[in-house]
Structure 1
Amino acid sequence: MDLRQLQTLIAVADTGSFAGAASRMNLTPSAIGQQIQSLEGEFGASLFDRRTRPRRLTAKGEELVRAARTVVQTMTEAKLAIAGGRTAGLLKFGAIRTVSMRLVPDAFARMRGLYGDLTFQLTVGMSESLMADVAAGHLDAALVAEHVGVPSSLTWSPVLQEPLVIAAPPDQAFRSDTSLLKDLPFIRYLTDVPLARQIETELSGLSVVPKDIVVANTMPAVVGMVQAGLGVAIVPRIALLHIQPDSVHQRAFCDGAVSRRLGLVQRQVSSRSEVLAQLRDAFSAMARAHGVAAEPMPVLGAEHAP
């Protein structure tokens, strides 16, 4: 087994075919097949289910691909360090949508000042799927919500804690929270993510039942509906960072008693631990600048899953 074989294995896993891997690796499909067969012979196990299209990894194949990604990344960074090179390469990062519009770009800009040769790939998605992608080695790290189970191979450390706010048209600022939710049409955030479930939980505990005028599955759409004067909504504070302050009236929901936390999830053993530590610091700095920094606490593994 050599590094080239591991790179080939990763290419087949990423592209789903020997032909796709051949194009990436600049080899023939038959050469790709020979390398995979060699790995299977060395480990004594089938790595791919050849009955499926695209090719699907077996359980043992998935385990080897995770290890291969770590080995390849470690060797790449070791070569740079020994040669006196700077930290470079592609940082594959995931984030939920509400932080992808402002906090993530600001943090990436800060990282470019530290690592001029580093490039980024951003995947925007739901916390659960991003967590799974980190565990599988498809992402180096992700910024995800609290209340998502952390597998034993990962750690989660909080970087942001923000209040949920009630957002309404500016001319309705005189109303109380109860009056806003009782008397104005409600714009409901409805999707299968922790934030939506948290909002629904808080609403269920109120003595009023909001009357929906719009149901939307993205937070920017919810905010846009409020800006258009359609009604009131409950949103996280950072969802309003990119808008004109006077376009929406906003104040802490329930006098600030309701908040959510976001944290950085990464593998417990990562070749990019130094870079990810700097990235976590960058997010913490951005959170402090916006007044939503999380309280310091130990990094969490599965036994302390939020």
Structure 2
Amino acid sequence: MDLRQLQTLVAVADTGSFAAAARVVHLTSSAVSQQIQALEGELGVTLFDRTKRPPRINAKGEEMLRAARSVVRTMTEARMAISGGRTAGVLKIGAIRTVSMQLVPQAFAAMWALYPDLSFDLTVGMSEALMSDVAAGRLDAAVVAEHVGVPASLSWTPVLSEPLVLVGPPGSEGRSELSLLHDLPFIRYETTVPLARQIETELSRLGVAAKEIAVTNTMPSVVGLVQAGLGVAIVPKIAFLDAAPGTLVCRPFCEGAITRRLGLVQRQVSSRVEVLTGLRRVLTERARDLGVGC
């Protein structure tokens, strides 16, 4: 088993085929196939289901892939450190949608100033899926919600805390929170994520049977529907920071008592600990600048 075989395995998994991986590792398709077969021979197991076209990585292959990603990343960074090179490579980060528009891009810009040889790969998704990608080694880290189960192999560190806010259309100024919720149509955030569950729980606790007029699965569209005058909604503060002045009426939900926290999740043992520590620090600083610091 050598490093090139592991790099080839990672390339096949990332590109989805032997032919595409060949272009990434600068080999022929037959050479890629030979390397994978040699690796399987040394391990004594089959890593791909070759009854599928293209071949699909199997459960044993997934296990080997996690180890291969770690080894390849460690060796790349060790070479840089020994040669006196600067931190380089691709930092693969996941983020939920509400922080992918301002907070994470601003953090990447700050990181690039610190590590000019670093590049970034941003994946936007749901907290649970992003957590799985970090655990599997497909992502280096991810910004996810607090209320998700964190496996023992991962650590979660808070980077922001923000209030939930009741937002209404222009013209709804001066009305009480309960009046807005009882009288105006409600725009619901429908996803299987902690924030959506948190909002539903608080409405139930208040005894509010909201008159639902629209359902959508992204926060920008929730905010847009409110701005269009369709009704009211409950959103995290960071979701409407780009809203033009005068397009929303905003007030802290439950007088600011209801908050959500987001944090950076990463593997307990990671060869990228230095750069991820820097990323966590920058995310925390930018969150404070946006008024949603811990």
TM-score exceeds 0.5: yes
Structure 2 CA distance, aligned partners of 1:206 and 1:42? 62
Please state how far the C-alpha of 1:142 moved relative to its aligned partner: 0.5
- Indicate the SS of the match to 2:171: helix
- Higher deviation after alignment, 275-284 or 188-197: 188-197
Please state how far the C-alpha of 1:134 moved relative to its aligned partner: 0.9
Q: How many residue pairs align between the two structures?
A: 294
Aligned: 1:136 with 2:152: no
Structure 1 CA distance, aligned partners of 2:87 and 2:65? 23
TM-superposition CA deviations, 1:90-123 (whole Å, max 9, x none):
1111100011111011111111111111111111
TM-superposition CA deviations, 1:62-91 (whole Å, max 9, x none):
121111111111111122222221111111
Structure 2 CA distance, aligned partners of 1:266 and 1:102? 21
Structure 1 CA distance, aligned partners of 2:50 and 2:152? 30
For structure 2, the 5+ residue unaligned runs are none
**One-letter amino acid of the structure 2 residue matched with residue 118 of structure 1:** L
Structure 2 CA distance, aligned partners of 1:266 and 1:241? 27
Indicate if the aligned counterparts of 1:16 and 1:53 stay in contact, CA closer than 8 A: no
- Indicate the SS of the match to 1:170: coil
**One-letter amino acid of the structure 2 residue matched with residue 268 of structure 1:** Q
- Higher deviation after alignment, 122-131 or 33-42: 33-42
**One-letter amino acid of the structure 2 residue matched with residue 128 of structure 1:** E
- Indicate the SS of the match to 1:246: coil
Please state how far the C-alpha of 1:226 moved relative to its aligned partner: 1.1
- Indicate the SS of the match to 1:13: helix
**One-letter amino acid of the structure 2 residue matched with residue 215 of structure 1:** V
- Higher deviation after alignment, 267-276 or 53-62: 53-62
Structure 2 CA distance, aligned partners of 1:261 and 1:213? 28
Structure 1 CA distance, aligned partners of 2:20 and 2:290? 44
Please state how far the C-alpha of 1:145 moved relative to its aligned partner: 0.7
Structure 2 CA distance, aligned partners of 1:175 and 1:55? 61
Structure 1 CA distance, aligned partners of 2:144 and 2:176? 32
- The root-mean-square deviation of aligned C-alpha atoms, in Å, is 1.3
- Higher deviation after alignment, 100-109 or 202-211: 202-211
**Equivalent residue for 1:159?**
159
Aligned: 1:33 with 2:33: yes
Structure 2 CA distance, aligned partners of 1:113 and 1:246? 35
Please state how far the C-alpha of 1:290 moved relative to its aligned partner: 2.5
**Equivalent residue for 1:177?**
177
Structure 2 CA distance, aligned partners of 1:119 and 1:79? 18
- Higher deviation after alignment, 44-53 or 99-108: 44-53
TM-superposition CA deviations, 1:203-227 (whole Å, max 9, x none):
1122231111211111000101111
TM-superposition CA deviations, 1:220-255 (whole Å, max 9, x none):
001011111221100000001111233211111001
**One-letter amino acid of the structure 2 residue matched with residue 7 of structure 1:** Q
**Which 4+ residue blocks in structure 1 deviate beyond 4 angstroms?**
none
- Higher deviation after alignment, 122-131 or 199-208: 199-208
- Indicate the SS of the match to 1:171: coil
Structure 1 CA distance, aligned partners of 2:229 and 2:54? 48
Structure 2 CA distance, aligned partners of 1:109 and 1:13? 29
For structure 1, the 5+ residue unaligned runs are 295-306
**Equivalent residue for 1:298?**
none
- Indicate the SS of the match to 2:66: helix
Q: Normalized against structure 1, the TM-score is what?
A: 0.93
1:182-201 aligned at under 5 Å gives the runs 182-201=182-201
* Percent of matched pairs sharing the same residue: 69
